[in-house]
Amino acid sequence: DAKTTQPPSMDCAEGRAANLPCNHSTISGNEYVYWYRQIHSQGPQYIIHGLKNNETNEMASLIITEDRKSSTLILPHATLRDTAVYYCIVRRMDSSYKLIFGSGTRLLVRP
Partner 1 sequence: DADVTQTPRNRITKTGKRIMLECSQTKGHDRMYWYRQDPGLGLRLIYYSFDVKDINKGEISDGYSVSRQAQAKFSLSLESAIPNQTALYFCATSDSAQYNEQFFGPGTRLTVL
What residues contact 66, with CB distance under 8 A and at least 6 apart?
none
Q: Which stretch binds partner 1 (CB under 8 A): 10-18, 19-27, 42-50, 57-65?
A: 42-50
DSSP 9-44: EEEEETTS-EEEEEE-TT--TTEEEEEEEE-TTSPP
- Indicate whether 49 belongs to the interface with partner 1 (CB under 8 A): yes
- Indicate whether 42 belongs to the interface with partner 1 (CB under 8 A): yes
Cβ proximity to partner 1, 74 vs 92, nearer residue: 92
Helices (H), 39-88: none
Q: Which stretch binds partner 1 (CB under 8 A): 19-27, 34-42, 59-67, 72-80?
A: 34-42
